[in-house]
């Protein structure tokens, strides 16, 4: 005895907070219910229930996770393709379904869908075009028909003022990467059968690893359209589909090569470091005798070499086989504005590049000392650029060193190496890293390789002065 019934991929009962456990929250005759039943059936037919991650949008279908007995993520408005991209790239075996309305996909989320399509992300997108913002009460959507009266177009959609209905399937079809782009409708029996097949095909493509499939589905919203459910489905065939023609715009399933990871080599560990550090080999020094994480902040203004000095410090730490993060913070101006960088070094993985308490503050100007000295841990260190700072730190529970960094840098003709002078001093006083490692990493951080020699001299000079102090 065979049964024709709803797929068990949809839960038997729906545990919505308030609401009946047997019925959906959709209005009577809403297209969402019919489409979601079709998707559930295709999931069952393909045997992929335990691999599916269903992305619910913001819109009337926001509660899809109450219905689909699959993995679920409820995404921010319009962002499902971005969420899906991340999920699919990390969990390659998952089947990602991005289910989105026209406000969601063709309004607030236009950028996300275009770029996911253009990258050919290996996912299946079902775009529910009901020509309105259903959830919020029937406002004009980018897909609303011309002259259509809605809450926000009470006299009808005006082409001059509001533009024309946006045709997403046609737009997506102009891109090179999508494998399937089609528009179907949940209207007559004939069209529903085609829709059912197209939903299956879009999911099958993903199972076969073919790439990005996009199915636009014209769907009834009897509530916003102010017609009966049966009339709404007739309206799709008679009116909506004349503006949004049904058909398949792209179908490369038989010709496209299976979706694969990037052809560029995936680098990790040492290879990765060498590839991203422009300019050559990393220096190799003994493992630094560091037990706990150290956070050092260098702060001053643009032009003092704050960020590049931080890079040199980070590279010296890498040379000593430490894990390092480098987190810059600067204003929009290239020069003269505030600039700071936090370098965290650790014998193990860095817990966070953002440090609330720091072990050492390297203050290159007076405002930086005032702004950040409270962040230094008790018994921490503050290095003061005595060329520019004429007041003492307020803190009396820390060690303070004075270094005339700007003067030394200026004398050497390298004002942009002020931070480097201070970092040399930090290394000298802290003894966590070595001056050699700083010098041998200079070529990695300096854009002008011809200045390596002068910078080396400046570092050595700084140390000489500090030793003789």
Partner 1 sequence: MSNQVIVDADRCKGCGICPSVCPKGCLRIGTEINLQGYEHVEVVPGSVCIACGMCVLACPEPRALTIVKHTEEEKSCTSA
Ligand X SMILES: Cc1ncc(C[n+]2csc(CCOP(=O)(O)OP(=O)(O)O)c2C)c(N)n1
Q: List Cα–Cα distances, 194 to 8, 129, 187, 240, 246, in angstroms.
A: 22, 16, 10, 17, 10
Residues whose CB falls within 8 Å of the CB of residue 400, separated by 6 or more in sequence, listed in order: 381, 382, 383, 384, 392, 393
Candidates 224-232, 262-270, 290-298, 311-319; binding stretch for partner 1 (CB under 8 A): 224-232
Task: Choose the contact partner of 95 out of partner 1, ligand X, ligand SF4, none; CB within 5 to 8 A by kind.
Answer: none
Give the pair of three-digit tokens for residue 329. 């913070």
Please choose which of partner 1, ligand X, ligand SF4, none residue 467 contacts, taking the beta carbon within 5 to 8 angstroms, the exact cut-off set by kind.
Answer: none
- Measured from the CB of residue 217, what is the shortest distance to ligand X in angstroms? 11
The smaller minimum CB distance to ligand X, of residues 128 and 432, is found at: 128
CB of 44 to partner 1, least distance (A): 13
62 interacts with partner 1 by CB under 8 A? no
141, 145, 203, 438: which one binds ligand X (CB under 6 A) = 141
CA 142 centroid distance within chain: 25
Nearest distance from C-beta of residue 36 to partner 1, angstroms? 8
With CB under 6 A as the rule, give the number of residues binding ligand SF4.
Answer: 12
SS3 of residue 127 by DSSP: strand
Comparing CB distances to partner 1, the nearer of 35 and 442 is 35
Q: Which of the stretches 112-120, 219-227, 337-345, 445-453 binds ligand SF4 when contact is defined by CB under 6 A?
A: 219-227
Q: How far apart are CA 408 and CA 415, in angstroms?
A: 9
Q: Which residues of 180-219 are buried (b: 16+ CB within 10 A; e: fewer)?
A: bbbbbbbbeeebbebbbebbbbbbbbbeeebbbbbbbbbb
Compute the distance between CA of residue 459 and CA of residue 406 in angstroms, rounded to an integer.
Answer: 13
Angle at 129 between CA 126 and CA 133, to 5 degrees: 120
Under DSSP, is residue 153 helix (H, G, I), strand (E, B) or coil? strand
Place of tokens 């014998």: 347
Answer for which of 134, 211, 305, 445 binds ligand SF4 (CB under 6 A) is: 134
Q: Strand, helix or coil at 132?
A: strand
Residue with the two structure tokens 């990871």: 261
Binding mask 70-109 for ligand X (x = CB under 6 A): -------x-----------------------xxxx---x-
Region from 26-34, 205-213, 336-344, 394-402 binding ligand SF4, contact rule CB under 6 A: 26-34
Nearest residue (CB) to ligand SF4, 32 versus 204: 32
Q: How far apart are CA 232 and CA 398, in angstroms?
A: 74
Question: Taking Cα atoms as reference points, which of 288, 263, 283 lies closest to residue 273?
Answer: 283
- Residue 56 touches ligand X, criterion: CB under 6 A: no
Q: Binding of partner 1 at residue 238 (CB under 8 A)?
A: no
Interface stretch with ligand SF4, choices 128-136, 243-251, 288-296, 330-338 (CB under 6 A): 128-136
Quick one: which of 26, 66, 244, 301 contacts ligand SF4 (CB under 6 A)? 26
89 near 123, Cβ under 8 Å? Answer: no
DSSP code, position 49? G
Interacting span for partner 1 (CB under 8 A) from 99-107, 190-198, 314-322, 387-395: 190-198
- Residue 222 CB, shortest distance to ligand X, in Å, is 12
Nearer to partner 1 by C-beta: 39 or 83? 39
| Residue 223, binding choice from partner 1, ligand SF4, ligand X, none, Cβ under 5 to 8 Å by partner class | ligand SF4
In terms of DSSP bridges, do strands 139-140 and 132-133 run parallel, antiparallel, or are they unpaired? antiparallel
What residues line the site for ligand X (CB under 6 A)?
Answer: 58-61, 77, 101-104, 108, 128, 130, 132-136, 141
């Amino acid at each position: 005895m065979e049964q024709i019934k709803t797929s068990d991929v949809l839960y038997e009962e729906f545990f919505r907070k308030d609401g009946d456990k047997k019925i959906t929250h959709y209005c009577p005759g809403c297209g969402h219910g019919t489409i979601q039943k079709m998707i559930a059936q295709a999931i069952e037919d393909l045997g992929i229930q335990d691999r599916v991650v269903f992305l619910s949008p913001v819109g009337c279908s926001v509660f899809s996770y109450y219905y689909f007995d699959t993995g679920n993520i409820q995404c921010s408005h319009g962002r499902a393709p971005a969420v899906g991209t991340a999920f699919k790239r990390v969990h390659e075996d998952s089947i990602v379904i991005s289910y989105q309305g026209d406000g969601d996909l063709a309004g607030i989320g236009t950028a996300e869908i275009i770029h996911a399509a253009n990258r050919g992300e290996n996912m299946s997108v079902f775009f529910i075009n009901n020509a309105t913002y259903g959830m919020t009460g029937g406002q004009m959507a980018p897909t609303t028909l011309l002259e259509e009266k809605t809450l926000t177009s009470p006299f009808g959609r005006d082409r001059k003022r509001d533009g024309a209905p946006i045709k997403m399937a046609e737009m997506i079809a102009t891109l090179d990467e999508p494998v399937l782009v089609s528009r179907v409708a949940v209207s007559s029996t004939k069209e529903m059968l085609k829709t059912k097949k197209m939903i299956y095909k879009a999911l099958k493509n993903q199972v076969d690893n073919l790439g990005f499939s996009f199915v636009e589905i014209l769907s009834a919203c009897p509530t916003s359209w102010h017609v009966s459910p049966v009339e709404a489905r007739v309206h799709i065939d008679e009116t909506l589909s004349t503006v949004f023609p049904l058909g398949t715009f792209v179908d490369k399933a038989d010709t496209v090569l299976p979706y694969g990871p990037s052809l560029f080599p995936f680098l990790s560990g040492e290879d990765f470091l060498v590839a991203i550090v422009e300019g050559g080999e990393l220096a190799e020094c003994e493992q630094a005798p560091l037990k706990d994480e150290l956070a050092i902040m260098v702060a001053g203004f643009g032009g003092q070499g704050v960020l590049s000095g931080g890079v040199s410090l980070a590279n010296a730490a890498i040379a000593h086989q430490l894990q390092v993060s480098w987190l810059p913070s600067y204003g929009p101006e290239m020069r003269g504005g505030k600039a700071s960088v936090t370098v965290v070094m650790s014998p193990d993985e860095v817990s966070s590049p953002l440090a609330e308490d720091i072990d050492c503050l390297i203050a290159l100007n007076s405002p930086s000392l005032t702004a950040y000295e409270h962040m230094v841990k008790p018994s921490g260190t503050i290095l003061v650029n005595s060329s520019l700072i004429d007041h003492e730190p307020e803190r009396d529970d820390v060690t303070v060193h004075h270094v005339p960094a700007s003067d030394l840098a200026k004398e050497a003709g390298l004002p942009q190496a002020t931070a480097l002078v201070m970092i040399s001093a930090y290394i000298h006083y802290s003894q966590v890293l070595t001056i050699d490692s700083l010098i041998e990493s200079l070529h990695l951080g300096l854009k002008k390789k011809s200045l390596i020699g002068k910078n080396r001299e400046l570092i050595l000079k700084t140390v000489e002065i500090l030793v003789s102090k």
